[in-house]
Chains A and B, each alone.
Chain A
Amino acid sequence: MKYRQFVALSALSVLLALPMTTASLSAQTRTPAAPATARKWIAPKTSWGDPDLQGAYSNSNENGTPLERPEIFEGRKLEDIKGEELQKIKNDAQKRTVENFAGPLHAPDGWWQPDLTMTKGTQAWLIIDPPNGKIPPLTPEATQKAAARAAARRSSGRGPADSWEDRSLYDRCITRGLPGSMMPAIYGNGYQILQAPGYVTIVYEMIHEIRVIPLGGKPHPASSVRSYMGDARGHWEGDTLVVETTNFREEGIYRNANPETLRVIERFTRTAPDVVKWSVTLDDPKTWTRPWTFSMPLTKDDSGPVLEYACHEGNLGLMNILSAARAEEKAAAEGAARKK
């Protein structure tokens, strides 16, 4: 199945494309270090006293930063890869990507990025826990489920584009799910955080997701109530917004986790005037042998509005994918007929 190939290729790429990793103009570079005598920056509050996270943000800079620690950094800590070393890795990654534009190899995809800002990436990889930077092993139960899924896909005899139902929920304009909706991609990495007393709202341009997150104490609904983006509940821990999301649907769930037991815990902390740190903990004892966490900065980006994303209406890409697959099948059949 396409997803499995993708996962395998991703793993391969982590091994092969090591220099792809890291980063650069860190937040410190953009925000000059304050003199030691200066007062510590204090995060602002809203008029009703909540920490103020509001604004338009993007994480385009981390597009290309691998989720897991590349093998080349084995034994090293994420925080130790910085400065010139980090900058070189990010520069090399960007150079390689640009060079790809010259060849026929899958080239034009990258053109659609609004900017190519890998050189401003701030991390060599994204997973901060466990300390080895790797996704923990699957549980035996999850391993079995994955094998069964793969076998079912193989025996179905279906191709990658026999129908729209063979395409991902993302292709079909349904959702990128959680945390997928805030994972950096080649475009559409615009988010807006809005707050009101008792609520935090996050607007995601890509696919046009909107999460209205109630704050404080309200329990999740019954387990029979399930949605693609799950049910989110937030509270403040100091200046950090903590959002726990449960009640996922099985379709499109992150990394084939178990919808009954997956808890996604996000933390949003404003660490500088233009930076909100976003960290995500995936806790699902039926899928992974331990919880794990990745993190990246969201940087203020007022360069453009979060635009309307009437995705289904504009999704000519899905039609083109299906019609291209039919054309290729026809050409293959004609080629086979000529050989006879």
Chain B
Amino acid sequence: MRLTAIVLFASLVLIAASASTAAAHHAFAAEFDANKQVTLKGTIAKMDWINPHAWLHIDVKESDGSVTRWMIELGPPNSLLKRGWTKQSVPAGIDVTVVGYLSKDGAKRANGRDITLPNGKQLFAGSSGTGAPGENQYK
């Protein structure tokens, strides 16, 4: 088990090595907590199709009726386009469910794993063709 963990870690480091610099804008562990998964139901306020990462802004209704604006970090636009995200698929005003990981600083920000659209279709914020857990459901 321990050896497995070392090898897995080594593999990841090797991936990073090929990037020639350490994880940069995508420094997940420096920004987000992989142990704090969150599910957010809200209305899309806007989608920023920007590099290095796209950001989805959603308004989440709290139990007391107030509304909180959350920002969800996604992959870079080119990655999202290749996974089937388009400007039309995430327009402002639609209700979505986002699963992601909370930011370490406690702000209303999360790293997005996937999004469920009103018609039930899910878009994966991660890779395609990876065999990642649950990925097949997004096809």
How far is the CB of A313 from the nearest CB of chain B, in Å?
7
Assess whether B52 is in contact with A10, with CB atoms less than 8 Å apart: no
Closest to B131 in A: A98
Q: Name the one of B12, B18, B27, B77 contacting A67, with C-beta atoms under 8 angstroms.
A: B18
Assess whether A320 is in contact with B103, with CB atoms less than 8 Å apart: yes
Assess whether B34 is in contact with A106, with CB atoms less than 8 Å apart: yes
How far is the CB of A121 from the nearest CB of chain B, in Å?
10
Assess whether A98 is in contact with B78, with CB atoms less than 8 Å apart: no
**A219 CB–B CB distance under 8 Å:** no
Assess whether B52 is in contact with A185, with CB atoms less than 8 Å apart: no
Assess whether B24 is in contact with A307, with CB atoms less than 8 Å apart: no
Assess whether A317 is in contact with B31, with CB atoms less than 8 Å apart: yes
Assess whether B10 is in contact with A112, with CB atoms less than 8 Å apart: no
Question: Of residues 63 to 103 in A, which have CB atoms within 8 Å of B's CB atoms?
Answer: 63-67, 93, 96-103
The interface residues of chain B lying within 8 Å CB-to-CB of A179 are 20
Assess whether B26 is in contact with A65, with CB atoms less than 8 Å apart: no
Closest to B104 in A: A324
Q: Name the one of B6, B10, B29, B105 contacting A327, with C-beta atoms under 8 angstroms.
A: B105
Bound Cα distance from A303 to B79, whole angstroms: 11
The interface residues of chain B lying within 8 Å CB-to-CB of A6 are 13, 16-17, 22
How far is the CB of A330 from the nearest CB of chain B, in Å?
9
**A38 CB–B CB distance under 8 Å:** no
Assess whether A304 is in contact with B14, with CB atoms less than 8 Å apart: no
Q: Evaluate whether A100 and B11 lie within 8 angstroms (CB atoms) in the complex, with A108-B101, A185-B19, A186-B19 already known.
A: yes
Bound Cα distance from A190 to B31, whole angstroms: 26
**A14 CB–B CB distance under 8 Å:** yes
Assess whether B11 is in contact with A320, with CB atoms less than 8 Å apart: no
**B127 CB–A CB distance under 8 Å:** yes
Bound Cα distance from A67 to B14, whole angstroms: 9
Q: Evaluate whether A316 and B132 lie within 8 angstroms (CB atoms) in the complex, with A12-B10, A100-B11, A108-B101 already known.
A: no
Q: Number of B residues whose C-beta is below 8 Å from A?
A: 65
Q: Number of A residues whose C-beta is below 8 Å from B?
A: 80
Closest to A20 in B: B14
Closest to A14 in B: B14
Q: Name the one of B17, B27, B83, B109 contacting A114, with C-beta atoms under 8 angstroms.
A: B83
Interface SS of chain B: helix, strand, loop or mixed? mixed
Assess whether A13 is in contact with B129, with CB atoms less than 8 Å apart: no
Closest to A107 in B: B34
B1-42 toward A: CB 8 Å interface, digit per residue (1/0)?
Answer: 000011111111111111111111111111110110000000
The interface residues of chain A lying within 8 Å CB-to-CB of B15 are 63-64, 97, 110, 186
**A164 CB–B CB distance under 8 Å:** no
Q: Name the one of B18, B24, B105 contacting A168, with C-beta atoms under 8 angstroms.
A: B24
Bound Cα distance from A114 to B129, whole angstroms: 9
Assess whether A310 is in contact with B50, with CB atoms less than 8 Å apart: yes
The interface residues of chain B lying within 8 Å CB-to-CB of A110 are 12, 15, 126-127, 130, 132
Chain A residues in the interface with B (C-beta under 8 A): 2-3, 6, 9-10, 12-17, 20, 62-67, 93, 96-117, 161, 168, 170-171, 173, 176, 179-180, 183-188, 190, 205-206, 208, 303-304, 307-311, 313-318, 320-321, 323-328
Given contacts A171-B25, A183-B18, A317-B52, 13 further A-B contacts (CB under 8 A): A6-B17, A10-B16, A13-B11, A17-B10, A20-B14, A64-B14, A101-B132, A110-B15, A187-B76, A304-B78, A315-B25, A316-B55, A317-B53
